[in-house]
Structure 1
Amino acid sequence: MKPLRLILTLMPFVCGCGDGSSGADDLLYDELSMPRVPTVALDSFASAEDCGLCHQTHYAEWATSAHAYAMKDPVFRAFVAVRQENYAGKQDKFCLQCHSPIGTRGGDIEAGFEFADLQPITLEGVTCESCHKVASLARPYNSGHVLDPDGPMRGTIAAPIPSSFHESQFSLLHGGSAFCAGCHDLREVSGLVLERPYAEWQQSPAVAAGVQCQDCHMPRYEGQAVAGGPTRTLHRHTWIGAGIPLLEGFITPDEEAALRVEVKRLLAGAARVDIAAPASVRAGDVVDLGIIVKNNISAHNFPTGSTFNRQAWVEVVVRDGDGRVVFATGTLDTSGEPRGPGLLQLGSVLVDARGQRVLFPWRATEHVSNALEPLRERAFRLRVATASAGRGPLSVEARVLFRAFSPDALRALGLDEYAARLEVHEVSRDLASVELRPR
C-alpha cells in the first residue's frame, strides 16, 4: 500500500468512466432499506409542512438543515447522476436509502428515476417522520432504521402530552448515538466502509463520559415543542455540521449568515496545532520544525464523516525578517488546492485496484485514512532551508485549515460554479520565531 501522504497528493482524481457493471449484474435490493417492492405507502407519512403547523420552531430549524438539504444538494445529485450512468440504473436505490428513506421504501425511487419526477415527500429528504416514525434499529449503518408509519411519533420527551393530531411516545433510542448511526455510518455495496462516525464514537472517550452525538449536534434548550405548550427541555433540529449549502436560495442570506457563525463555532478549536522549533539556527542551516496536531474532539475523528470528500490540512509559512517567504506548504494554488513540499493532510482517500486515487466510492477497493482519533495527537516534521533568507528572525506560522469539499472534486463533477462558494475555515493557529545566528 502506498504511503498516505503520497496518495493524497495524486491529482487529478481518477473518476472511473467505465460502465461499472462488474459484480452488479442484478438490481441492488435490501429487504429493509432498498426493498424490491414498496414496504410503506408514501401517503402514510405527513409532510414536514404539516408538522410545522404546530411545531413551528422545530420546522423552521429543520428547514435550514442538512436533513432538509439532503435531496436538493447539487453535489449529491451529481454523484447520483454518475452512479446512474455507470450502472444504467441498477444501483439507483443505494444513495437514496439514506437521503430519502421514505421515498426509497415507498417505491418512488426506481431504476432510472429523475429527480424532477419524484413526489414531494420523497424530495423532503430526511423529513420529520423519517426519524420520528422509527420504531427500532436493525443495524447501525446503511439506513438501518425500522420505519413504523402507523405507529406513534417517537422522541425524547419523557411525558408527551396527549394530542388529537397524533399519538406520542417516549423513545430511549432517539436520544442515543446509535440512532444517528442508522444513516451516518455507511458501507459500499462491496462492503468497503466509507463513513464511520458512530464506530469512531464507540471507541472514543465520549462513551465513558456519557456524551452522545445529540449533545453536540442537537444541543438542548428550554422552549415549547408546540405553540402554547409547556416549557420543556428540547433539542435543536439544525444538526450543525461542517458544511454550508452550496445551492443558492436554499436558505435566506440571513439564515446563511447565522449558519456560518454556527459552523465556525463548531470547528473553532476542534483541533489544535503547536509548533516545536529551535530558538535559533545558524544562517543558511536547515531548521527542523515539529508540527503537532491534536484532535480536541472527544467523540469522533478529525475530520469525520465523508472524509474522502473533506479537506483538512496544515498550512505552514516561514518568512524572514523582511517578510519574504522562505518556505511554504499548504497554501492554495491557482486552482484553489493546497500544495507544497511535505504537504500535511488529514482525512482519507479512496483508492482503486491499481492504487490510483478515485473520486467515486463505488470505484474504490480500499479506503486509506490518517484522520486523527479522538483526543489523539500526531507529530509531523518539516525541514526548512534558510539559504534564501535575508535577515532574521524567521517567523513561523502554522494553521489547521478545513474545507467541506475539494474544488477539484467539484470540477470533476461538472460543478465549477460552486467551487467559488467553498469556504476555508481556520481551526487553529500557532506562531513561533527562530533567530538566525551569524555563521
Structure 2
Amino acid sequence: MRQRSALFTILAVVAALLAAAGAVQARSPVFDVDKEFYPYYPSLIKWNKSTVPFNAPEVCGSCHEQQFNEWNGSVHSLAFRDPIYQGELNKAVKAVGHSISRQCEGCHSPVGVVTGEIKGPGFQGLSSMAMAGVSCDVCHSISGVTHWQTPSHEPENGSFILTPGVETANGQVLVKRGPFKPSPECGGGFHQCEESDLHLRADLCASCHQVYHYDAHFPIEATYLEWKHGPYAQKSILCQDCHMVDLDTFKRSADQFVIPDRKEYRHYFNGANFLLTYLAAGAAKKAGDEELARNLMRQYEMAIQRLKMAADLEVTPVYRSGRLAELKVRVKNIRAGHNLPTSLTNVRQMWLEITARDEQGTVLMTSGTLNPDGSLPAEARAFTSDGMGSDFHFAIDPWVVTAFSKHETIPPKGWKDVHYGIQVPEGVGRITVEAKLRFRQADQKVAEALLGAVPKDIDLEQIYGIKSVPPLPVVDMVVKQETVKTAP
C-alpha cells in the first residue's frame, strides 16, 4: 500500500513538472512582433499610404529659407550620406542579410524606405528625396507614434506614422504639422497646416533616438530613456530645448531649466557628431559649394563648443598617514540632458587623461595617453560601454550586441569618481596635476574599418578627398590644472 502511495506521489510530481514545462512552452514571447502592423519591419515606420508625394527640402526652402539654411548641413540632412553609417550598413548587410538594412534606413532615410527606393547600402540610382535623410517633410509629416505597440512597448527603430497628406474628392491635399497654432495664411495655398501637440513633446524624437537590436530588441542606444529617467524630463526641458537652439540658449536651458521662447528655436539639430560635419564640409569645398561648406563648419564649431560645455572636472587630493596617497577626479555631467556620452556608447569614446609632475616637471604618474597607433590604452579610465553578444562574449557590431557587460556613462546632472594611486618621492612638497576629459567619435581602428567598408559607389577620395583615414580628431571637453600639496 505504501509502495502504491509513493508511486502515485511520484507520478503526480512528474505530471506537475510536465504541466509546468508545457506552460513554459506555451508562454507568449517577450518581444511579440506584429509584422502586419509593421510592414517595413525591422523598421517600425508606418505610412498612411496615398498618392500624396513627399517634397524635397529645396521645395520647402523656397518659402522657408531660414529653416532650410539651418537644416542644410545639420546631421539630419547628412543622416543617409554619412560615410561611416554607410560603411556600417554595408557590413551589416553582408553579415546578416538585406532585411536588417530597413531598420537602419527607416531612421536615416524614412522616405526612401516607405517608397521602396532604398534597397540596400550606397547611393546609386537614388532620388534627391531619398538622399535627403531626415528632411523637412519627414518631421512635418509625422502624424503620430506607435511607441506602445512596438515589440518592446517603448519607442524604438522609427516607431512613427508618416502622413504627408490626404486624398479628397477634389484631389490631393498636402498636410504639414508643427508645434504652434497656424496663422490663416500658413502654407500659402501649397499645403494645409495643422497644430501638433506631438511636436511639442520629446516623443517626436524618441522614435529614432532609441535604437534597438533588429531581432532581440535590446536597446543599443537609449538616449530618449536616459532623458526620460532623469532630471531634465522632471523639469520639462525637452530634446528640442537643447538641440534646436543656439549655444547661449542651450546653456540657459541646461543651467536654469528655462524653456526657450518660440523665436529662439532653430533647425540646427546639433549634437556631438562633429566628425560627420567636418567630413561633409570637406566634400562641399571639393564640390565648389562654399555656402554649404560654411554652414557645415558652423555646425562643426557648434558641436565642438557643445562638447566643451557639457562636462566639468574636480581634482581632489586624498591623504593617508600624512602623505598624498591618491588623486580623486570627479567627472560631472553638467549640461547634457541624457547620459554622457550617449548614442552608440560602445563605439564613442570619452576618457580621462591625467598627468602629475613634481616641481621640476618630472612626470610622477600618467594615464590615458593614446598609444602611438591611436588606440586607447587598456588601463585608461573610460566612460563608455562594452557590448556582448548572445554568447556573452565581447562584441561591437550593432547587429551582434544584445547586452552590455559594462556601462560606465554618466547620467544627467550626475558624476563618477575615478581614483588614481600615486607615490610621491621624499622631498617633493607639491605636485602639479593636469586632468583632461577627452572625446572622439570612435576608436581609430573602428573608424578605419567602417570607412574601409563603404559601398563601391561611394568614392571617398573623389567625394571627400580622403586617400587614407587620418588620425581621428580628439576634443578636449575639459582641461583642469591643479597644484596639490603632498602633505595635508
Report whether the alignment pairs 1:198 with 2:251: no
Instruction: For residues 149-200 of structure 1, give each alpha carbon's deviation from its aligned partner in whole angstroms, at most 9, with x where no partner exists.
Output: 2151001232333321111111111121110001111111211111111111
SS of residue paired to 2:177:
strand
Greater gyration radius: 2
Report whether the alignment pairs 1:259 with 2:299: yes
Report whether the alignment pairs 1:148 with 2:179: no
> Residues 57, 42 of structure 1: CA spacing in aligned structure 2 closer, same or farther, 3 A cutoff?
farther
1:236 is aligned to 266
Residues 98-109 of structure 1: matches in 2 within 5 Å? 98-109=107-118
Q: CA deviation at 1:431?
A: 2.4
Residues 237-386 of structure 1: matches in 2 within 5 Å? 237-244=267-274, 245=276, 246-247=279-280, 248-250=282-284, 252-278=292-318, 287-297=325-335, 299-339=337-377, 341=379, 343-367=380-404, 368-386=406-424
Q: CA deviation at 1:211?
A: 0.5
Contact 1:37 1:107 in 2 (8 A): no
RMSD (Å) for aligned C-alpha atoms: 3.0
Report whether the alignment pairs 1:117 with 2:125: yes
Structure with greater contact order relative to length (CA < 8 Å, sep ≥ 6): 1
Is the deviation greater in 414-423 or in 121-130?
Answer: 414-423
Instruction: For residues 344-392 of structure 1, give each alpha carbon's deviation from its aligned partner in whole angstroms, at most 9, with x where no partner exists.
Output: 11121212245443221111231242111111122121112335x9955
Contact 2:317 2:324 in 1 (8 A): no
Instruction: For residues 271-299 of structure 1, give each alpha carbon's deviation from its aligned partner in whole angstroms, at most 9, with x where no partner exists.
Output: 211111147998xx773111111111362
2:27 is aligned to none
> Residues 40, 406 of structure 1: CA spacing in aligned structure 2 closer, same or farther, 3 A cutoff?
farther
Contact 2:213 2:401 in 1 (8 A): no
Q: Distance in 2 between matches of 1:279 and 1:286?
A: 4
> Residues 419, 126 of structure 1: CA spacing in aligned structure 2 closer, same or farther, 3 A cutoff?
same
Contact 1:28 1:91 in 2 (8 A): no
Q: CA deviation at 1:411?
A: 1.8
Contact 1:400 1:428 in 2 (8 A): yes
1:138 is aligned to 146
SS of residue paired to 1:69:
coil
> Residues 352, 216 of structure 1: CA spacing in aligned structure 2 closer, same or farther, 3 A cutoff?
same
Larger helix proportion of the pair: 2
> Residues 329, 356 of structure 1: CA spacing in aligned structure 2 closer, same or farther, 3 A cutoff?
farther
Q: Distance in 1 between matches of 2:50 and 2:88?
A: 27
TM-score normalised by L of structure 1 = 0.82
Residues 9-20 of structure 1: matches in 2 within 5 Å? none
Q: Distance in 1 between matches of 2:283 and 2:199?
A: 31
Contact 1:351 1:366 in 2 (8 A): yes
Report whether the alignment pairs 1:409 with 2:443: no
Contact 2:110 2:134 in 1 (8 A): yes
Corresponding residue to 1:186 among 205, 208, 211: 211
- AA paired with 1:288? E
Q: CA deviation at 1:30?
A: 3.4
- AA paired with 1:237? H
> Residues 408, 114 of structure 1: CA spacing in aligned structure 2 closer, same or farther, 3 A cutoff?
closer
SS of residue paired to 1:308:
coil
2:432 is aligned to 395
Instruction: For residues 62-118 of structure 1, give each alpha carbon's deviation from its aligned partner in whole angstroms, at most 9, with x where no partner exists.
Output: 1110111011111000011111111242322121011011111111133x5642122
Instruction: For residues 231-284 of structure 1, give each alpha carbon's deviation from its aligned partner in whole angstroms, at most 9, with x where no partner exists.
Output: 9726211111001223432474433432233113212231211111147998xx
Q: Distance in 2 between matches of 1:280 and 1:36?
A: 59
Instruction: For residues 16-69 of structure 1, give each alpha carbon's deviation from its aligned partner in whole angstroms, at most 9, with x where no partner exists.
Output: xxxxxxxxxxx9993266489986479710110111111111111111101110
1:431 is aligned to 481
The answer for unaligned runs of 5 or more in structure 2 is 1-34, 148-154, 167-174, 248-260, 286-291, 453-465
Corresponding residue to 1:217 among 229, 243, 246: 243
Q: Distance in 1 between matches of 2:419 and 2:297?
A: 38
Q: CA deviation at 1:324?
A: 2.3
Q: Distance in 2 between matches of 1:157 and 1:250?
A: 34
Q: Distance in 1 between matches of 2:416 and 2:428?
A: 32
